[in-house]
Amino acid sequence: MMSPERALTWVTYTSRAVRKEVSIDLELRTRTEGAWTILEVVGEVDLYTAPALHDRLVAMIDGGTRSLAVDLQGVGFMDSSGLGVLVGGLKRLRENGGQMSLVCREGSTLKVLTVTGLDRVFPIHATVADATAS
Amino acid sequence: MIVSDQLSLDLPADPAQIGTARAFAARVGGHLGVGEETVEDIKLAISEACTEAIALGVLGLHLLVSVEPGAITFELEGQGVRDPLLSSKWFAELFDGPARLELVRSLFPDFAVVSEGEPFVLRFSVPAPATPTA
């Protein structure tokens, strides 16, 4: 049986370990493939990091990007903060006559897109090649 | 065998700390034998709960995990109140509170806002993994 004293020790240790190991970074890399601009997102997207994604999307769209594939294969975690930013980007692109696809094959990111029904809003592809061929 | 125990983590209500809350919950879930997919769901639920609390303007986050025979309960308490973030520039593009909480409810049917006042309290539970008997 885990005693309360032992649990407390464990929690203290874990809290320190978690604090030490958690460093949420978001990398955003952009490249062009034909008529498409690829935004590769790597890291975790939540309330803390979503503003960076938001700002990048707005800058790209304001800068003239009209065919955008957002590659989410490097995203280890995304919550509704990230989803909201993606939906905002899609809306902004469509208002400017653009299109937006997501690249996401598996994992928790695809699950949250499915649970929220956004897999019916965004074209979702398994690879960047599939997205840019559409 | 774990009969009853509680583990907790206190964090400032800072978006930068949401990843720490997720990592703590994931580590506790993994330590207690919760399956990988459920751990991912727990991370999402904790992230959404923290986001909701921070959006409402709480000052501190108290995450409590109660381990009892048959269930592991996660409770997030938002302590203190300051000006809500809801009016910030890009926050309007996020999922609104009800949609965010509905997302969590779709993963954990017993998810509930236990208290909407001060403190603001959210709670959900997962079945405790069966303990092998000798």
Which residue among B24, B90, B95 places its CB closest to the CB of A18?
B24
Question: Nearest CA of chain B to the CA of A34: how many Å?
Answer: 30
Give Cα separations from A112 to A55, A104, A120, B43 (angstroms): 22, 11, 12, 12
Q: Would you put residue B3 in left (φ > 0), alpha (ψ -120 to 50) or beta? A: alpha
Mean pLDDT for all residues in chain A: 85
Position B72 scores a pLDDT of 96
- pLDDT tens digits along A3-41: 333 343 344 334 444 444 455 689 999 999 999 999 999
Measured CA to CA, the distance from residue B112 to residue B134 in angstroms comes to 36
Measured CA to CA, the distance from residue A134 to residue A89 in angstroms comes to 19
Q: Is B27 on the interface with A (CB under 8 A)?
A: yes
Mean pLDDT for all residues in chain B: 86
User: Mean per-residue pLDDT for B33-39?
Assistant: 95
Position A106 scores a pLDDT of 87
% pLDDT > 90, chain A: 79
CB atoms within 10 A of CB A92: 17
B9 with A2: Cβ contact below 8 A? no
Question: Nearest CA of chain B to the CA of A86: how many Å?
Answer: 9
**Count of residues making up chain B:** 134
Q: Is B86 on the interface with A (CB under 8 A)?
A: no
Are A115 and B104 spatial neighbours (Cβ–Cβ below 8 Å)?
no
% pLDDT > 90, chain B: 62
Measured CA to CA, the distance from residue A133 to residue A131 in angstroms comes to 5
Position A60 scores a pLDDT of 97
Position B84 scores a pLDDT of 64
Position A25 scores a pLDDT of 81
Position A127 scores a pLDDT of 96
| Positions of E strands within chain B | 5-12, 60-68, 71-79, 112-115, 120-127
A1 with B3: Cβ contact below 8 A? yes
Residue B11 carries which DSSP code? E
User: Mean per-residue pLDDT for A109-123?
Assistant: 94
Q: Is the pLDDT of residue B134 over 80?
A: no
Measured CA to CA, the distance from residue B126 to residue B42 in angstroms comes to 9
Position B26 scores a pLDDT of 96
* Choice between A76 and B81, residue whose per-residue pLDDT is larger: A76
Measured CA to CA, the distance from residue B116 to residue B118 in angstroms comes to 7
B51 with A116: Cβ contact below 8 A? no
- pLDDT tens digits along B82-127: 766 654 555 555 666 678 888 999 999 999 999 888 888 999 999 9
B6 with A4: Cβ contact below 8 A? yes
Position B116 scores a pLDDT of 85
Position B117 scores a pLDDT of 80
Position B4 scores a pLDDT of 58
Are B95 and B106 spatial neighbours (Cβ–Cβ below 8 Å)?
no
Position A15 scores a pLDDT of 45
Instruction: Please report the number of interchain residue pairs, chain A to chain B, with beta-carbon separation below 8 angstroms.
Output: 94
Question: Nearest CA of chain A to the CA of B118: how many Å?
Answer: 22
- pLDDT tens digits along B42-58: 999 999 999 999 988 89
